[in-house]
A and B are shown apart, each in its own frame.
Chain A
Amino acid sequence: MTSKNIIYFIIAATISVGFTTHLFHTADLLPTLIIGFCALGCGIVFWLFTSFNHPTDPALLLPPYLVTAALLMLHIVEEQVFEFGPMIAGITTGIWTAEQFLWTIGFLFPLVWIFGAYAIARRNPLGGFVSCFIFTGMLLGEPTHLLIFPVREAILHGGGYDYFPGMWTALAPLITGLWGIAIVVTEARKDKRAANAKGTKIWT
């Protein structure tokens, strides 16, 4: 691992820990587990084992990433319109209001993942980190809008399985997210094979 890569890892870990801590203090454990553990935690591990040493070719990665980012933003629009923040606060002990949700998920979070597109285009390792956490986040986190939130809402407040904000657009970014994961894994395997053929050792 080069000293440059260590710096990128520290930046990625700082973003993950800072954002997860902020989430835990405002939105409680459930969103923290989903975004912090699924997206950021698994995203970092996935990144370390795939594109950490060799950032993926932007010509392959940028299209699925841009579409995933657009669909994720569309999902956030649905969440904001139907007040996801207060609804999550209703099924947890969190204090998310619509305004706090807008600040955290509408303004702050997108700054990181749109910067990711820029980093991918420049083949910067941080682009690999952001793409890995967005893709794994879509895969592990988004189904909770259909499988966990409405069920918890029904258990806590009665009534049947019903609409929960963000439900209709939750699985859309998962489709392109899987496309992105396939590209990252395939390209990492190619890089590893090429490194093995040359006889160079890469630690992943």
Chain B
Amino acid sequence: MLISIFDSYLDDDAVAFNPPPWVSIVAVVALTLTLLLAVFIYLGIWLASIVMLSVVLAFVLWLTVGYTTPISRRALPSHIVLIIALLVHGAEQFRGGYADVVVTAFPNLIQPPNIITDASLALSLSLSATVIWLLGGAMAFYHARVGGFAILLLAVWSLVFPLSHVALPLLSSTAPVWVPGMASGFVVIALAFSSLRFTLNLTRRRPLS
């Protein structure tokens, strides 16, 4: 008798998981907005600006290339190489004290609670970001649009972030000329540029859908 309250119209026929494509746009906007605000709160406006620029550029690229046709699976090796390069870049920043340089360069912008340290930067930009890049790579393997966005975002971020190291001494008179991360930064820029070109050409030439 009582069991009848659990009755429904559900059955166990096979149902395809097929959400509408625009859901991926909502997912990308929601995830990147959350990420952006987290960076702003915990790491300050300097890094939030760099992330925002990267997100906007990656989003435009994704809408023009990666959204209409999934990013090719063949782009994954370049994505993995960039993850490795960014880890080395993060290690150089940690060793050289990049956080101190940012705080010295913008003493009025980086105020509590936005006091960044080398440890907090390593934890967020190297370790936690690697989780996102690896999961993005796994999603891109299955041609999920959000995974394709992660691939483009990593490539753009790997281009913009090391370039910001060059911009730092130009924007602030208190910043040193040599910013920690510059040595590996130039390698990361070269790899990111090649990766972006390779990925976009691959996806444009061989559209998957």
Interface residues of A, Cβ cutoff 8 Å to B: 62-63, 66-67, 69-70, 73-74, 76-77, 80-81, 98-99, 102-103, 106-107, 110-111, 114-115, 117-118, 121-122
Q: Contacts A80-B123, A110-B87: A122 and B131 contacting too (C-beta < 8 A)? A: no
Cβ-based interface call for B162 (8 A): no
A-B pair number, CB within 8 angstroms: 71
A74 partner residues in chain B, CB cutoff 8 A: 131
Taking a contact as CB atoms under 8 Å apart, the answer to whether A66 and B84 are in contact is: no
A81 to chain B: closest residue by CB: B123
Taking a contact as CB atoms under 8 Å apart, the answer to whether A67 and B87 are in contact is: no
B13 to chain A, nearest CB (A): 27
Could you give, for residues 166-187 of chain B, a 1 whenever the CB lies within 8 Å of some chain A CB and a 0 otherwise? 0000000000000000000000
- Is chain B's binding surface mostly helix, strand, loop or mixed? helix
B84 partner residues in chain A, CB cutoff 8 A: 111, 114-115, 118
Cβ-based interface call for B90 (8 A): yes
Taking a contact as CB atoms under 8 Å apart, the answer to whether A62 and B76 are in contact is: yes
Give B74-106 interface residues, CB cut-off 8 Å to A.
Answer: 76-77, 80-81, 83-84, 87-88, 90-91, 94
Taking a contact as CB atoms under 8 Å apart, the answer to whether A121 and B88 are in contact is: no
Instruction: State which of B27-35, B36-44, B135-143 sits at the interface with chain A.
Output: B135-143
- Give Cα A83 to B76, complex, Å: 33
A80 partner residues in chain B, CB cutoff 8 A: 123, 127
B81 to chain A: closest residue by CB: A118
B76 partner residues in chain A, CB cutoff 8 A: 62, 121
- Give Cα A69 to B127, complex, Å: 12
B18 to chain A, nearest CB (A): 20
B155 to chain A, nearest CB (A): 16
Which listed residue (B80, B87, B142) contacts A63, Cβ 8 A?
Answer: B142
Taking a contact as CB atoms under 8 Å apart, the answer to whether A106 and B88 are in contact is: no
Q: Contacts A118-B81, A121-B76, A122-B77: A73 and B130 contacting too (C-beta < 8 A)? A: yes
Taking a contact as CB atoms under 8 Å apart, the answer to whether A106 and B131 are in contact is: no
B94 partner residues in chain A, CB cutoff 8 A: 102, 107
Which listed residue (B87, B119, B122, B137) contacts A111, Cβ 8 A?
Answer: B87
Pull 10 A–B residue pairs with CB atoms less than 8 Å apart, ordered by A: A62-B141, A70-B130, A77-B123, A98-B119, A103-B91, A107-B94, A107-B126, A110-B87, A114-B84, A114-B130
A107 to chain B: closest residue by CB: B91
A64 to chain B, nearest CB (A): 9
Taking a contact as CB atoms under 8 Å apart, the answer to whether B127 and A77 are in contact is: yes
- Give Cα A76 to B87, complex, Å: 14
Listed residue (A73, A76, A103) with the most chain B CB atoms within 10 angstroms of its CB = A73
B80 partner residues in chain A, CB cutoff 8 A: 114-115, 117-118, 121
